[in-house]
Protein backbone atom coordinates (compact mmCIF):
# COMPACT_ATOMS: atom_id res chain seq x y z
CA UNK A 1 0.00 0.00 0.00
CA UNK A 2 2.50 2.59 -1.16
CA UNK A 3 1.11 6.08 -1.69
CA UNK A 4 1.58 7.44 -5.20
CA UNK A 5 0.90 10.85 -6.68
CA UNK A 6 -2.26 9.34 -8.15
CA UNK A 7 -3.53 8.20 -4.77
CA UNK A 8 -3.73 11.14 -2.37
CA UNK A 9 -5.61 10.27 0.80
CA UNK A 10 -8.38 12.88 1.03
CA UNK A 11 -9.97 13.48 4.43
CA UNK A 12 -12.82 15.52 2.98
CA UNK A 13 -15.99 13.61 2.14
CA UNK A 14 -19.76 14.10 2.00
CA UNK A 15 -22.87 12.03 2.82
CA UNK A 16 -23.56 11.48 -0.87
CA UNK A 17 -20.20 9.71 -1.15
CA UNK A 18 -20.54 7.46 1.89
CA UNK A 19 -20.03 3.75 1.20
CA UNK A 20 -19.89 2.47 4.77
CA UNK A 21 -22.28 4.45 6.98
CA UNK A 22 -25.87 5.63 6.87
CA UNK A 23 -27.88 7.73 9.28
CA UNK A 24 -31.59 7.83 10.05
CA UNK A 25 -32.92 10.89 11.86
CA UNK A 26 -35.97 10.84 14.10
CA UNK A 27 -36.25 14.10 15.99
CA UNK A 28 -33.83 14.14 18.91
CA UNK A 29 -32.53 10.63 18.14
CA UNK A 30 -30.31 9.62 15.23
CA UNK A 31 -29.47 6.02 14.38
CA UNK A 32 -26.03 5.54 12.86
CA UNK A 33 -25.65 2.26 10.97
CA UNK A 34 -22.25 0.74 10.27
CA UNK A 35 -22.77 -1.10 7.00
CA UNK A 36 -19.32 -1.46 5.46
CA UNK A 37 -19.01 -2.08 1.72
CA UNK A 38 -16.70 -5.10 1.42
CA UNK A 39 -15.37 -3.84 -1.90
CA UNK A 40 -14.87 -0.28 -0.63
CA UNK A 41 -11.35 -0.51 0.78
CA UNK A 42 -9.11 2.51 0.53
CA UNK A 43 -6.46 0.36 -1.18
CA UNK A 44 -6.49 -2.80 -3.27
CA UNK A 45 -5.67 -6.24 -1.88
CA UNK A 46 -8.26 -6.80 0.83
CA UNK A 47 -12.02 -7.00 1.41
CA UNK A 48 -13.74 -5.31 4.32
CA UNK A 49 -15.63 -8.39 5.47
CA UNK A 50 -17.73 -8.59 8.65
CA UNK A 51 -17.95 -4.81 9.05
CA UNK A 52 -14.18 -4.58 9.41
CA UNK A 53 -12.76 -1.16 8.69
CA UNK A 54 -9.80 0.74 7.29
CA UNK A 55 -8.89 4.43 7.19
CA UNK A 56 -11.53 5.12 4.53
CA UNK A 57 -14.28 3.84 6.82
CA UNK A 58 -13.01 6.04 9.63
CA UNK A 59 -12.77 9.12 7.40
CA UNK A 60 -16.48 8.72 6.77
CA UNK A 61 -17.20 8.21 10.48
CA UNK A 62 -15.26 11.37 11.36
CA UNK A 63 -17.36 13.25 8.80
CA UNK A 64 -20.59 11.84 10.25
CA UNK A 65 -19.63 12.91 13.76
CA UNK A 66 -18.63 16.39 12.61
CA UNK A 67 -21.82 16.89 10.61
CA UNK A 68 -23.89 15.64 13.54
CA UNK A 69 -22.47 18.47 15.65
CA UNK A 70 -23.04 21.24 13.08
CA UNK A 71 -25.79 20.12 10.71
CA UNK A 72 -28.06 18.41 13.25
CA UNK A 73 -28.11 20.41 16.49
CA UNK A 74 -31.54 18.92 17.24
CA UNK A 75 -29.98 15.49 17.78
CA UNK A 76 -29.38 14.70 21.46
CA UNK A 77 -28.73 10.96 21.27
CA UNK A 78 -26.99 8.92 18.58
CA UNK A 79 -27.49 5.14 18.54
CA UNK A 80 -24.58 3.32 16.91
CA UNK A 81 -25.43 -0.11 15.56
CA UNK A 82 -24.65 -2.57 12.80
CA UNK A 83 -26.41 -2.64 9.46
CA UNK A 84 -25.52 -6.32 9.00
CA UNK A 85 -26.98 -9.47 10.51
CA UNK A 86 -25.10 -11.51 13.12
CA UNK A 87 -22.08 -9.21 13.40
CA UNK A 88 -21.56 -5.81 14.93
CA UNK A 89 -17.97 -5.10 13.85
CA UNK A 90 -14.89 -7.29 13.44
CA UNK A 91 -12.55 -4.34 14.06
CA UNK A 92 -9.69 -3.08 11.91
CA UNK A 93 -9.23 -5.15 8.78
CA UNK A 94 -6.46 -7.69 9.35
CA UNK A 95 -5.42 -7.98 5.70
CA UNK A 96 -5.05 -4.21 5.56
CA UNK A 97 -2.91 -4.19 8.71
CA UNK A 98 -0.78 -7.04 7.41
CA UNK A 99 0.01 -5.34 4.11
CA UNK A 100 0.12 -1.66 5.13
CA UNK A 101 3.32 0.27 5.60
CA UNK A 102 4.32 0.95 9.17
CA UNK A 103 3.67 4.68 8.73
CA UNK A 104 0.17 4.06 7.39
CA UNK A 105 -0.72 1.76 10.28
CA UNK A 106 0.42 4.31 12.85
CA UNK A 107 -1.37 7.22 11.12
CA UNK A 108 -4.49 5.08 10.84
CA UNK A 109 -4.48 4.28 14.56
CA UNK A 110 -3.91 7.92 15.49
CA UNK A 111 -6.76 9.17 13.32
CA UNK A 112 -9.16 6.53 14.64
CA UNK A 113 -8.17 7.51 18.19
CA UNK A 114 -8.91 11.16 17.44
CA UNK A 115 -12.26 10.22 15.92
CA UNK A 116 -13.24 8.11 18.94
CA UNK A 117 -12.29 10.97 21.25
CA UNK A 118 -14.45 13.38 19.27
CA UNK A 119 -17.70 11.52 19.84
CA UNK A 120 -16.68 10.34 23.30
CA UNK A 121 -16.81 13.94 24.60
CA UNK A 122 -19.76 15.06 22.45
CA UNK A 123 -22.21 14.38 25.28
CA UNK A 124 -20.20 16.24 27.90
CA UNK A 125 -19.33 19.17 25.65
CA UNK A 126 -22.38 19.48 23.42
CA UNK A 127 -25.18 17.39 24.90
CA UNK A 128 -25.02 14.94 22.00
CA UNK A 129 -24.65 11.49 23.57
CA UNK A 130 -23.61 8.26 21.82
CA UNK A 131 -25.09 4.86 22.68
CA UNK A 132 -23.95 1.54 21.24
CA UNK A 133 -26.46 -1.23 20.52
CA UNK A 134 -24.64 -4.53 19.96
CA UNK A 135 -26.02 -7.58 18.22
CA UNK A 136 -23.52 -10.17 17.04
CA UNK A 137 -19.76 -10.33 17.49
CA UNK A 138 -18.17 -7.07 18.61
CA UNK A 139 -14.43 -7.66 18.36
CA UNK A 140 -11.25 -5.61 18.68
CA UNK A 141 -11.73 -2.22 17.08
CA UNK A 142 -15.45 -2.91 17.02
CA UNK A 143 -15.50 -3.01 20.80
CA UNK A 144 -13.31 0.09 20.82
CA UNK A 145 -16.04 1.87 18.85
CA UNK A 146 -18.42 0.85 21.62
CA UNK A 147 -16.06 1.79 24.44
CA UNK A 148 -15.98 5.40 23.28
CA UNK A 149 -19.78 5.62 23.60
CA UNK A 150 -21.60 6.83 26.71
CA UNK A 151 -23.64 3.64 27.10
CA UNK A 152 -23.32 0.07 25.76
CA UNK A 153 -26.27 -2.32 25.33
CA UNK A 154 -25.60 -5.98 24.48
CA UNK A 155 -28.24 -8.48 23.43
CA UNK A 156 -28.32 -11.73 25.38
CA UNK A 157 -28.87 -14.23 22.58
CA UNK A 158 -26.24 -16.82 23.46
CA UNK A 159 -23.77 -15.72 20.78
CA UNK A 160 -23.39 -11.91 20.80
CA UNK A 161 -20.22 -10.94 22.62
CA UNK A 162 -17.55 -8.32 23.15
CA UNK A 163 -13.83 -9.05 22.83
CA UNK A 164 -10.35 -7.59 22.53
CA UNK A 165 -8.56 -10.55 20.88
CA UNK A 166 -5.56 -8.69 19.46
CA UNK A 167 -3.00 -10.09 21.89
CA UNK A 168 -3.76 -13.84 21.56
CA UNK A 169 -4.82 -13.69 17.92
CA UNK A 170 -2.65 -11.07 16.22
CA UNK A 171 0.30 -10.35 18.52
CA UNK A 172 -0.59 -6.65 18.62
CA UNK A 173 -2.59 -4.42 20.99
CA UNK A 174 -6.10 -2.90 20.87
CA UNK A 175 -4.47 0.22 19.48
CA UNK A 176 -7.36 2.69 19.54
CA UNK A 177 -7.72 2.91 23.29
CA UNK A 178 -9.20 -0.47 24.17
CA UNK A 179 -6.89 -1.40 27.03
CA UNK A 180 -7.01 2.05 28.55
CA UNK A 181 -10.76 2.55 28.32
CA UNK A 182 -11.42 -0.88 29.85
CA UNK A 183 -9.42 0.02 32.97
CA UNK A 184 -9.65 3.82 33.20
CA UNK A 185 -13.11 4.53 31.83
CA UNK A 186 -15.08 1.40 32.63
CA UNK A 187 -12.88 0.61 35.63
CA UNK A 188 -12.84 -3.12 35.00
CA UNK A 189 -10.87 -4.92 37.71
CA UNK A 190 -7.30 -5.45 36.51
CA UNK A 191 -7.26 -9.25 36.83
CA UNK A 192 -10.58 -9.53 35.02
CA UNK A 193 -9.29 -7.19 32.31
CA UNK A 194 -6.27 -9.49 31.98
CA UNK A 195 -8.59 -12.47 31.42
CA UNK A 196 -10.79 -10.51 29.02
CA UNK A 197 -7.85 -9.40 26.86
CA UNK A 198 -6.46 -12.95 26.72
CA UNK A 199 -9.42 -14.88 25.33
CA UNK A 200 -10.18 -14.91 21.61
CA UNK A 201 -13.84 -15.80 22.05
CA UNK A 202 -14.62 -12.78 24.23
CA UNK A 203 -17.27 -12.41 26.91
CA UNK A 204 -21.05 -12.45 26.56
CA UNK A 205 -24.27 -12.23 28.52
CA UNK A 206 -24.37 -11.77 32.27
CA UNK A 207 -20.58 -12.05 32.65
CA UNK A 208 -20.10 -9.06 30.35
CA UNK A 209 -22.43 -7.08 32.60
CA UNK A 210 -20.91 -8.36 35.85
CA UNK A 211 -17.43 -7.37 34.66
CA UNK A 212 -18.72 -3.92 33.64
CA UNK A 213 -17.78 -4.46 30.01
CA UNK A 214 -21.29 -3.28 29.03
CA UNK A 215 -24.06 -1.30 30.73
CA UNK A 216 -27.10 -3.41 29.77
CA UNK A 217 -27.60 -7.05 28.80
CA UNK A 218 -31.14 -7.70 27.59
CA UNK A 219 -33.05 -10.46 25.89
CA UNK A 220 -33.60 -10.20 22.15
CA UNK A 221 -37.32 -9.72 22.73
CA UNK A 222 -36.66 -6.56 24.76
CA UNK A 223 -33.64 -5.26 22.89
CA UNK A 224 -35.30 -2.60 20.70
CA UNK A 225 -37.48 -1.45 23.58
CA UNK A 226 -34.42 -1.04 25.82
CA UNK A 227 -32.43 0.80 23.17
CA UNK A 228 -35.31 3.26 22.67
CA UNK A 229 -35.71 3.74 26.42
CA UNK A 230 -32.01 4.43 26.98
CA UNK A 231 -31.93 6.88 24.06
CA UNK A 232 -34.90 8.71 25.59
CA UNK A 233 -33.10 8.92 28.94
CA UNK A 234 -30.10 10.57 27.32
CA UNK A 235 -32.21 13.00 25.32
CA UNK A 236 -33.93 14.02 28.56
CA UNK A 237 -30.59 14.87 30.20
CA UNK A 238 -29.29 16.81 27.19
CA UNK A 239 -29.46 20.60 27.23
CA UNK A 240 -28.98 20.83 23.47
CA UNK A 241 -31.60 23.08 21.79
CA UNK A 242 -34.57 21.25 20.28
CA UNK A 243 -35.48 23.90 17.71
CA UNK A 244 -32.08 24.95 16.41
CA UNK A 245 -31.46 24.98 12.66
CA UNK A 246 -28.29 23.27 11.49
CA UNK A 247 -25.38 24.72 9.53
CA UNK A 248 -24.43 22.94 6.31
CA UNK A 249 -20.72 22.09 6.14
CA UNK A 250 -20.18 23.04 2.51
CA UNK A 251 -17.11 21.72 0.64
CA UNK A 252 -13.77 23.34 1.36
CA UNK A 253 -12.31 25.35 -1.50
CA UNK A 254 -8.85 23.87 -2.10
CA UNK A 255 -6.28 23.94 -4.85
CA UNK A 256 -3.66 21.19 -4.87
CA UNK A 257 -0.47 22.37 -6.52
CA UNK A 258 2.70 20.61 -7.64
CA UNK A 259 4.96 19.08 -5.00
CA UNK A 260 2.24 18.80 -2.37
CA UNK A 261 1.37 22.44 -1.74
CA UNK A 262 -2.29 23.33 -1.05
CA UNK A 263 -4.07 26.67 -1.16
CA UNK A 264 -7.23 27.32 0.85
CA UNK A 265 -9.00 30.62 1.51
CA UNK A 266 -7.45 31.35 4.93
CA UNK A 267 -4.61 28.80 5.01
CA UNK A 268 -1.70 28.24 2.64
CA UNK A 269 0.48 25.12 2.75
CA UNK A 270 3.83 25.19 0.98
CA UNK A 271 5.82 21.95 0.83
CA UNK A 272 9.57 21.90 0.17
CA UNK A 273 10.28 18.21 -0.37
CA UNK A 274 13.98 18.77 -1.03
CA UNK A 275 14.43 20.30 2.43
CA UNK A 276 11.77 18.03 3.99
CA UNK A 277 9.86 21.01 5.40
CA UNK A 278 6.39 22.50 5.00
CA UNK A 279 5.02 25.88 6.03
CA UNK A 280 1.44 26.50 7.11
CA UNK A 281 0.48 30.17 6.95
CA UNK A 282 -2.78 31.47 8.36
CA UNK A 283 -3.99 34.80 6.98
CA UNK A 284 -6.12 36.87 9.35
CA UNK A 285 -9.69 37.67 8.27
CA UNK A 286 -10.35 40.73 6.17
CA UNK A 287 -14.13 40.58 6.77
CA UNK A 288 -15.22 42.76 9.68
CA UNK A 289 -16.59 40.65 12.53
CA UNK A 290 -19.37 43.20 12.98
CA UNK A 291 -20.92 41.81 9.80
CA UNK A 292 -21.61 38.56 11.65
CA UNK A 293 -23.11 39.92 14.85
CA UNK A 294 -26.70 39.75 13.67
CA UNK A 295 -26.17 36.99 11.12
CA UNK A 296 -23.78 34.50 12.72
CA UNK A 297 -25.95 31.57 11.69
CA UNK A 298 -26.61 33.01 8.24
CA UNK A 299 -22.89 33.03 7.46
CA UNK A 300 -22.85 29.31 8.34
CA UNK A 301 -19.75 27.46 7.17
CA UNK A 302 -18.36 30.74 5.81
CA UNK A 303 -18.07 32.13 9.34
CA UNK A 304 -14.35 32.91 9.31
CA UNK A 305 -13.43 31.12 12.54
CA UNK A 306 -15.15 27.94 11.39
CA UNK A 307 -13.76 28.09 7.86
CA UNK A 308 -10.22 28.63 9.12
CA UNK A 309 -10.49 25.75 11.62
CA UNK A 310 -11.76 23.38 8.91
CA UNK A 311 -8.98 24.38 6.51
CA UNK A 312 -6.26 24.07 9.13
CA UNK A 313 -7.60 20.66 10.19
CA UNK A 314 -7.62 19.42 6.60
CA UNK A 315 -4.10 20.77 6.01
CA UNK A 316 -2.69 18.94 9.05
CA UNK A 317 -4.32 15.66 8.02
CA UNK A 318 -3.10 16.06 4.44
CA UNK A 319 0.50 16.56 5.56
CA UNK A 320 0.32 13.66 8.01
CA UNK A 321 -0.93 11.13 5.49
CA UNK A 322 0.52 12.30 2.19
CA UNK A 323 3.87 13.96 2.96
CA UNK A 324 5.59 11.32 5.05
CA UNK A 325 9.14 12.62 4.51
CA UNK A 326 8.23 16.16 5.47
CA UNK A 327 9.70 16.20 8.95
CA UNK A 328 9.37 19.87 9.98
CA UNK A 329 6.19 21.97 9.94
CA UNK A 330 6.48 25.72 10.37
CA UNK A 331 3.47 27.83 11.37
CA UNK A 332 3.02 31.47 10.45
CA UNK A 333 0.18 33.95 11.03
CA UNK A 334 -0.15 37.27 9.25
CA UNK A 335 -2.64 40.12 9.15
CA UNK A 336 -4.42 42.41 11.58
CA UNK A 337 -4.61 40.94 15.08
CA UNK A 338 -7.47 43.24 16.08
CA UNK A 339 -9.55 41.92 13.23
CA UNK A 340 -8.94 38.32 14.30
CA UNK A 341 -9.62 39.06 17.96
CA UNK A 342 -12.94 40.66 17.03
CA UNK A 343 -14.01 37.40 15.37
CA UNK A 344 -12.83 35.43 18.38
CA UNK A 345 -14.65 37.78 20.78
CA UNK A 346 -17.87 37.32 18.83
CA UNK A 347 -17.73 33.60 19.66
CA UNK A 348 -16.64 34.09 23.27
CA UNK A 349 -19.47 36.55 23.92
CA UNK A 350 -22.01 34.11 22.45
CA UNK A 351 -20.89 30.81 24.00
CA UNK A 352 -24.46 30.14 25.11
CA UNK A 353 -25.33 29.89 21.42
CA UNK A 354 -24.87 26.29 20.26
CA UNK A 355 -23.20 27.29 16.97
CA UNK A 356 -20.65 29.64 18.52
CA UNK A 357 -19.86 27.00 21.13
CA UNK A 358 -19.37 24.29 18.51
CA UNK A 359 -16.88 26.45 16.60
CA UNK A 360 -14.82 26.93 19.77
CA UNK A 361 -14.99 23.20 20.51
CA UNK A 362 -13.80 22.51 16.97
CA UNK A 363 -10.79 24.77 17.53
CA UNK A 364 -10.05 22.77 20.68
CA UNK A 365 -9.96 19.58 18.61
CA UNK A 366 -7.80 21.14 15.86
CA UNK A 367 -5.27 22.41 18.37
CA UNK A 368 -5.11 18.94 19.93
CA UNK A 369 -4.54 17.55 16.44
CA UNK A 370 -1.49 19.82 16.19
CA UNK A 371 -0.26 18.68 19.62
CA UNK A 372 -0.46 15.06 18.50
CA UNK A 373 1.18 15.44 15.09
CA UNK A 374 4.47 13.52 15.00
CA UNK A 375 6.47 16.13 13.12
CA UNK A 376 8.87 18.74 14.43
CA UNK A 377 6.72 21.82 14.92
CA UNK A 378 8.07 25.37 14.90
CA UNK A 379 6.36 28.77 14.85
CA UNK A 380 7.96 31.68 13.00
CA UNK A 381 6.73 35.11 14.07
CA UNK A 382 8.18 37.12 11.19
CA UNK A 383 7.68 40.85 10.52
CA UNK A 384 3.98 41.31 9.83
CA UNK A 385 3.09 38.32 12.02
CA UNK A 386 0.39 38.52 14.65
CA UNK A 387 -0.16 35.42 16.73
CA UNK A 388 -3.25 36.46 18.68
CA UNK A 389 -5.65 34.68 21.01
CA UNK A 390 -6.59 31.28 19.62
CA UNK A 391 -3.74 31.45 17.09
CA UNK A 392 -1.27 32.17 19.90
CA UNK A 393 -2.12 28.67 21.14
CA UNK A 394 -0.11 27.39 18.17
CA UNK A 395 2.95 29.21 19.56
CA UNK A 396 2.57 27.24 22.79
CA UNK A 397 1.86 23.94 21.01
CA UNK A 398 5.02 23.85 18.90
CA UNK A 399 8.41 22.48 19.92
CA UNK A 400 10.18 25.80 19.36
CA UNK A 401 9.16 29.34 18.47
CA UNK A 402 11.24 32.10 16.88
CA UNK A 403 10.23 35.77 16.86
CA UNK A 404 11.61 38.59 14.76
CA UNK A 405 12.88 41.45 16.93
CA UNK A 406 11.66 44.78 15.55
CA UNK A 407 11.31 45.91 11.96
CA UNK A 408 13.73 44.53 9.39
CA UNK A 409 15.74 46.74 7.07
CA UNK A 410 14.15 46.91 3.63
CA UNK A 411 10.94 45.28 4.93
CA UNK A 412 7.97 47.63 5.26
CA UNK A 413 5.94 45.17 7.33
CA UNK A 414 5.37 46.13 10.99
CA UNK A 415 7.15 44.30 13.84
CA UNK A 416 5.80 40.89 14.82
CA UNK A 417 3.47 40.81 17.82
CA UNK A 418 1.82 38.31 20.15
CA UNK A 419 -1.51 39.17 21.79
CA UNK A 420 -2.96 37.07 24.60
CA UNK A 421 -6.74 36.91 25.09
CA UNK A 422 -9.27 35.15 27.31
CA UNK A 423 -8.97 32.17 24.96
CA UNK A 424 -5.47 31.42 26.27
CA UNK A 425 -6.57 30.94 29.87
CA UNK A 426 -8.75 27.83 30.02
CA UNK A 427 -10.69 27.53 26.78
CA UNK A 428 -8.40 25.03 25.04
CA UNK A 429 -7.07 22.34 27.40
CA UNK A 430 -4.53 19.85 26.06
CA UNK A 431 -4.80 16.07 26.43
CA UNK A 432 -3.29 16.43 29.92
CA UNK A 433 -6.25 18.67 30.96
CA UNK A 434 -3.92 21.65 31.38
CA UNK A 435 -3.82 24.68 29.13
CA UNK A 436 -0.79 25.10 26.94
CA UNK A 437 0.40 27.99 29.09
CA UNK A 438 0.00 25.89 32.25
CA UNK A 439 1.97 23.10 30.59
CA UNK A 440 4.63 25.56 29.40
CA UNK A 441 5.10 26.96 32.91
CA UNK A 442 4.53 23.75 34.84
CA UNK A 443 7.36 24.59 37.24
CA UNK A 444 6.28 28.23 37.58
CA UNK A 445 2.47 28.25 37.84
CA UNK A 446 2.40 31.82 39.09
CA UNK A 447 3.73 32.92 35.69
CA UNK A 448 0.37 32.08 34.12
CA UNK A 449 -1.43 34.48 36.47
CA UNK A 450 1.13 37.14 35.66
CA UNK A 451 0.57 36.63 31.94
CA UNK A 452 -3.16 37.24 32.42
CA UNK A 453 -2.26 40.83 33.32
CA UNK A 454 -0.90 41.25 29.78
CA UNK A 455 -4.09 40.23 27.98
CA UNK A 456 -5.12 42.31 24.98
CA UNK A 457 -1.68 43.93 24.68
CA UNK A 458 0.29 43.60 21.44
CA UNK A 459 3.63 42.27 22.73
CA UNK A 460 6.71 42.74 20.57
CA UNK A 461 9.74 40.46 20.68
CA UNK A 462 11.58 41.89 23.68
CA UNK A 463 8.53 41.74 25.94
CA UNK A 464 7.40 38.35 24.60
CA UNK A 465 10.85 36.89 25.20
CA UNK A 466 11.06 38.27 28.76
CA UNK A 467 7.64 36.75 29.51
CA UNK A 468 8.76 33.36 28.20
CA UNK A 469 6.27 33.26 25.33
CA UNK A 470 8.86 32.42 22.65
CA UNK A 471 12.02 30.35 22.55
CA UNK A 472 14.29 32.86 20.78
CA UNK A 473 14.07 36.39 19.41
CA UNK A 474 16.48 37.49 16.66
CA UNK A 475 17.03 40.77 14.82
CA UNK A 476 17.35 41.06 11.06
CA UNK A 477 21.11 40.42 11.17
CA UNK A 478 20.74 36.94 12.65
CA UNK A 479 17.21 35.93 11.69
CA UNK A 480 17.76 34.30 8.31
CA UNK A 481 20.85 32.30 9.31
CA UNK A 482 19.40 31.11 12.62
CA UNK A 483 16.18 29.88 11.02
CA UNK A 484 18.05 28.19 8.16
CA UNK A 485 20.44 26.40 10.51
CA UNK A 486 17.62 25.20 12.74
CA UNK A 487 15.54 23.84 9.85
CA UNK A 488 18.51 22.08 8.26
CA UNK A 489 19.57 20.56 11.56
CA UNK A 490 16.07 19.40 12.49
CA UNK A 491 15.40 17.84 9.10
CA UNK A 492 18.67 15.89 9.33
CA UNK A 493 17.87 14.08 12.60
CA UNK A 494 16.45 10.57 12.78
CA UNK A 495 12.66 10.88 12.47
CA UNK A 496 12.24 8.01 14.93
CA UNK A 497 14.29 9.78 17.58
CA UNK A 498 12.46 13.06 16.91
CA UNK A 499 9.03 11.44 17.23
CA UNK A 500 9.99 9.87 20.54
CA UNK A 501 11.61 13.01 21.94
CA UNK A 502 8.85 15.39 20.91
CA UNK A 503 6.00 13.19 22.12
CA UNK A 504 7.67 12.88 25.52
CA UNK A 505 8.34 16.61 25.90
CA UNK A 506 4.95 17.91 24.76
CA UNK A 507 2.82 16.45 27.53
CA UNK A 508 4.34 17.44 30.83
CA UNK A 509 2.24 17.25 33.97
CA UNK A 510 -0.59 14.92 34.96
CA UNK A 511 -1.44 11.76 33.08
CA UNK A 512 -5.01 11.36 31.85
CA UNK A 513 -6.84 8.65 29.96
CA UNK A 514 -6.16 10.61 26.79
CA UNK A 515 -2.41 10.97 27.36
CA UNK A 516 -2.21 7.27 28.22
CA UNK A 517 -3.93 6.37 24.95
CA UNK A 518 -1.83 8.66 22.76
CA UNK A 519 1.39 8.30 24.71
CA UNK A 520 1.87 5.00 26.47
CA UNK A 521 -0.53 2.77 24.51
CA UNK A 522 0.23 4.25 21.09
CA UNK A 523 3.97 4.16 21.71
CA UNK A 524 3.85 0.46 22.57
CA UNK A 525 1.60 -0.33 19.61
CA UNK A 526 3.96 1.62 17.35
CA UNK A 527 6.84 -0.57 18.52
CA UNK A 528 4.87 -3.83 18.37
CA UNK A 529 3.77 -3.05 14.80
CA UNK A 530 7.42 -3.34 13.76
CA UNK A 531 8.19 -6.58 15.58
CA UNK A 532 8.60 -9.83 13.59
CA UNK A 533 6.19 -11.58 15.97
CA UNK A 534 3.44 -9.43 14.48
CA UNK A 535 4.51 -8.46 10.95
CA UNK A 536 7.36 -10.82 10.09
CA UNK A 537 6.93 -13.54 7.46
CA UNK A 538 5.86 -16.00 10.15
CA UNK A 539 4.23 -13.37 12.37
CA UNK A 540 0.63 -13.50 13.52
CA UNK A 541 -0.64 -10.75 11.20
CA UNK A 542 0.87 -12.48 8.17
CA UNK A 543 -0.45 -15.92 9.11
CA UNK A 544 -3.92 -14.77 10.11
CA UNK A 545 -6.58 -16.82 8.36
CA UNK A 546 -4.22 -19.66 7.36
CA UNK A 547 -4.98 -21.82 10.39
CA UNK A 548 -1.31 -21.65 11.43
CA UNK A 549 -0.31 -19.75 14.52
CA UNK A 550 2.44 -17.15 14.41
CA UNK A 551 5.96 -18.42 15.03
CA UNK A 552 7.21 -16.19 17.84
CA UNK A 553 10.65 -15.22 19.05
CA UNK A 554 9.98 -16.01 22.70
CA UNK A 555 12.67 -13.79 24.20
CA UNK A 556 11.25 -11.03 26.41
CA UNK A 557 12.73 -7.61 25.62
Band (251; pLDDT cuts 50, 70, 90): very high
Residue 5: its pLDDT value, please? Answer: 40
Question: pLDDT digit string (tens) for 23-80?
Answer: 999 999 999 999 999 999 999 999 999 999 999 999 999 999 999 999 999 999 999 9
Angle, vertex CA 274, rays to CA 268 and CA 277, nearest 5: 45
Q: 110 CB contacts (<8 Å, ≥6 apart)? A: 320, 372, 374, 518, 522
Reported in sequence order, the residue ranges of 368-462 that DSSP labels E, i.e. its strands, are 376-381, 386-388, 400-404, 417-419, 458-459
Helix 354-371, helix 304-322: angle, nearest 10: 30
Question: Could you tell me if 271 and 323 are in contact, meaning their C-beta atoms sit under 8 angstroms apart?
Answer: yes
Q: Is residue 428 within a helix (H) or strand (E), and if so which, with residue range?
A: none
Residue 287: its pLDDT value, please? Answer: 76
Band (293; pLDDT cuts 50, 70, 90): low
What is the reported pTM?
A: 0.95
Three-class secondary structure of residue 9 per DSSP: coil
Q: Which domains does the chain have, with CATH numbers?
A: 15-237 (3.90.226.10), 255-499 (3.90.226.10), 502-543 (no CATH)
Question: Could you tell me if 285 and 343 are in contact, meaning their C-beta atoms sit under 8 angstroms apart?
Answer: yes
Q: Which residues pair with 282 in a beta bridge?
A: 267, 333
How far is the C-alpha of 109 from the C-alpha of 113, rounded, in Å? 6
Question: pLDDT digit string (tens) for 513-528?
Answer: 999 999 888 888 888 9
Residue 2: its pLDDT value, please? Answer: 37
Residue 1: its pLDDT value, please? Answer: 36
Concatenated DSSP letters of 119-185: HHTHHHHHS-EEEEEE-SEEETHHHHHHHTSSEEEEE-SSS-EEE--HHHHHSS--TTTHHHIIIII
- Judged against a pLDDT cut of 60, whether residue 6 lies above it is answered with no
Three-class secondary structure of residue 504 per DSSP: helix
Query: Residues 261-280: what's their mean pLDDT?
Result: 96
- Judged against a pLDDT cut of 70, whether residue 83 lies above it is answered with yes
Concatenated DSSP letters of 378-394: EEEE-TTBEEEGGGHHH
Residue 3: its pLDDT value, please? Answer: 36
How far is the C-alpha of 165 from the C-alpha of 318, rounded, in Å? 32
Q: 319 CB contacts (<8 Å, ≥6 apart)? A: 269, 271, 278, 280, 326, 329, 373, 375
Question: pLDDT digit string (tens) for 342-373?
Answer: 999 999 999 999 999 999 999 999 999 999 99
* Contacts of range 475-478, beta carbons closer than 8 Å, 24 or more positions apart: 475/404, 475/405, 475/406, 475/408, 476/404, 476/406, 476/408, 476/409, 476/411
Q: Is residue 551 within a helix (H) or strand (E), and if so which, with residue range?
A: none
158: left (phi over 0), alpha (psi -120 to 50) or beta: left
Name the residue among 93, 172, 166 with its Cα closest to residue 531: 172
How far is the C-alpha of 75 from the C-alpha of 384, rounded, in Å? 43
Question: Could you tell me if 366 and 309 are in contact, meaning their C-beta atoms sit under 8 angstroms apart?
Answer: yes
Backbone phi, psi, residue 321, to 5°: -90, -30
Amino acid sequence: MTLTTDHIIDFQTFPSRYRHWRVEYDGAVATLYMDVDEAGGLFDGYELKLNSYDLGVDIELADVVQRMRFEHPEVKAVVLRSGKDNVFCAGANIRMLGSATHAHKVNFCKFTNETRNTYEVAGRDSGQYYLCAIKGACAGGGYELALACDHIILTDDGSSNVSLPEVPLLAVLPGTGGLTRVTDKRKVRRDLADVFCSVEEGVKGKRALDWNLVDDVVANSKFEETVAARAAEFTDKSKRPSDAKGIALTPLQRTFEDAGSVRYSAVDVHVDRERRTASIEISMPIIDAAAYVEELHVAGAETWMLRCARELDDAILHLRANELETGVLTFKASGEADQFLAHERLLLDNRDDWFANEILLYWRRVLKRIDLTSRSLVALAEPGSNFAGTLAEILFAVDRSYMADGAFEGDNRPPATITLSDANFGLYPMSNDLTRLQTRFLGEPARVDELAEHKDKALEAEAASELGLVTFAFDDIDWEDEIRLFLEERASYSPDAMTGMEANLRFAGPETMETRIFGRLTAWQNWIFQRPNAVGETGALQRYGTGIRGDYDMRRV
